[in-house]
Amino acid sequence: MRNLSLFELNSLVADLVSTALPQSFWVEAELAESRENGGHLYLSLTQKDETTNTPIAQASAKCWRSAWLALREQFQRVTGQNLRAGMKLLIRVHAQFHQRYGFSWIVDDINPEFTLGDMVRQRLEIIRRLKDEGVFDLQHELTLPRFAQRIAVISSETAAGYGDFVHQLQNNIHNLSFTPRLFPAVMQGEQVEHSVISALNEINKRCEQFDCVVIIRGGGATADLTGFDTLQLAENVANFPLPIITGIGHERDQSILDMISHTSVKTPTAAASFLTDHLLRTWNDIGEAESRMTSLIRKRIDDEQQRIERIISKTPALVKILITQQQARIQADSHRLSTVVHELLDKHSRRLDNLTRSLPLLVRNRITQQQHRLELIQQRVQANNPDRLLKLGYSITLHNGRVVRSASTLKSGDTLLTRFSKGSIESIVKQQDL
């Protein structure tokens, strides 16, 4: 028997393969890897043990450009996604052994409905796990602050959607003020999950600086939504302490992230409109509350005035005076009550007004005190006035203009002047009785 060349040997194998496996087969497998080159698709397929999740079978497959162009379009239309690792595929293949490249499975068809069903199953499984963990509705239980103005934004810095969001937020027609801060993240491709989680961790470190979080992306293919349908990202969002608003989808698409977020809108501009409308409602509510309070105060004043008028009409004139004074006091109190609405704005001004109003009272009290003191002094002066004693029947004896208090100070021949209440007399000392 002569020796065979490698080409002859591979040719024999190729003939055997084509003879033994002439038909095509529908095969279920998990996509481990895929790449395109020159318009052709190259696949690495695997099957894993359901209990241990370890590979029990592996194979490579090729889809030639002539078939792949049509299959790719159909797959994206049905599933809304591109082929990616981890997908479950149902493909129709036939065996081929090439003398140069060896054995391969050649892909003739791909059933996108099978993959779509598996994707739905995975989404339902993630939703079930989130509900079992009790975190599915945690974001819905959070309350968006009435003054939600400090916004942490997770988006791509260069995305047009981020620019549209910031422009609409800061140039709203109501001149409402917002402070957005960007935390850059990858919003398309396989890095979405890791990148968004990292941004959430950075925000969480300074959580007290923000009122809410907005996750937005500026368009892109529906297939790019797969990065927002992962269990780990969903758990991070569900357990986040701040309300999270998402604007990552399309009009007909909803990711798991949209389901568990506090509020889900379709586009970045819709997210900006939501925040603007929320803050506008807050300001409108404040204005309405102020109007209601003012109306209640005015109604209370009117009611009191009417009550007083009814009382006045049924009381004597003297009581009317007292009621008028009471009415003036009520009006003053009503005026002070109305100022409560603006207390935060004019606190210091009110304090100054209060001091100004109290100053006259303090002055009057001080004057009253001093007047009372002067009256006491005057009474003392009057009590010690010699003229008063003379009027009571007493007299005063003077010697050389000085009051005589003791006879021992006098001698015979001294001339004395005695004053009475009315008139005076002179006398001469003749004898002293000591």
Query: What rounded mean pLDDT belongs to the chain?
Result: 83
Host domain of residue 236 = 133-281
Whether the per-residue pLDDT at 367 is higher than 70: the answer is yes
- Would you say 223 and 81 are in contact if contact means Cβ atoms under 8 Å apart? yes
- The residue-averaged pLDDT of 24-42 equals 90
- 52, 78: one domain: yes
Pair of tokens at residue 355? 């001091």
pTM here?
Answer: 0.52
Whether the per-residue pLDDT at 5 is higher than 60: the answer is yes
Predicted confidence (pLDDT) per residue in 169-222, tens digit:
999 988 899 999 999 998 887 788 899 999 999 999 999 999 999 999 876 555
Determine the Cα–Cα distance for residues 261 and 138; give it in Å rounded to an integer.
Answer: 9
Q: What is the DSSP letter of 4?
A: P
* Sheet containing 263-264: order of strands: 179-184, 150-155, 212-216, 244-247, 263-264
- 113, 138: one domain: no
- 64, 165: one domain: no
Q: Quick one: pLDDT at residue 344?
A: 59
- Would you say 123 and 115 are in contact if contact means Cβ atoms under 8 Å apart? no
> What does 129-166 look like in DSSP terms, one character per residue?
HHHHTT-TTHHHHS---TT--EEEEEE-TT-HHHHHHH
Confirm whether 94 is domain-assigned: yes
Dihedral-angle region of residue 383 (phi above 0 means left; psi in -120 to 50 means alpha; beta otherwise): alpha
Q: Quick one: pLDDT at residue 366?
A: 81
- 54, 192: one domain: no
What is the enclosing helix (H) or strand (E) of 368? helix 347-383
- 66, 200: one domain: no
- 82, 170: one domain: no
Confirm whether 356 is domain-assigned: no
Confirm whether 152 is domain-assigned: yes
Using alpha carbons, select from 215, 214, 262, 254 the residue that is nearest to residue 238: 262
Which residue, of 70, 94, 119, is where some domain finishes? 119
Confirm whether 232 is domain-assigned: yes
- 272, 394: one domain: no
- 212, 138: one domain: yes
Confirm whether 173 is domain-assigned: yes
- The residue-averaged pLDDT of 43-65 equals 87
Going by their DSSP bridges, the two strands 179-184 and 212-216 should be labelled as unpaired
- 406, 267: one domain: no
- 145, 257: one domain: yes
Hey, is 37 helix, strand or coil?
A: strand
> What does 176-242 look like in DSSP terms, one character per residue?
---EEEEEE---SSTTHHHHHHHHHHHHHHTGGG-SEEEEE-----GGGGGGGS-HHHHHHHHT-SS
- 157, 265: one domain: yes
Residues paired with residue 104 on neighbouring β-strands, in sequence order: 96
Going by their DSSP bridges, the two strands 402-403 and 396-399 should be labelled as antiparallel
Predicted confidence (pLDDT) per residue in 375-410, tens digit:
888 777 776 666 666 676 677 888 887 887 877 788
- 144, 89: one domain: no
On the CB side of 138, CA atoms within 13 Å amount to 18
Predicted confidence (pLDDT) per residue in 282-340, tens digit:
988 888 888 888 888 988 888 888 888 887 777 666 666 777 888 888 888 777 766 76
Determine the Cα–Cα distance for residues 425 and 416; give it in Å rounded to an integer.
Answer: 8
Total domains, the chain: 3
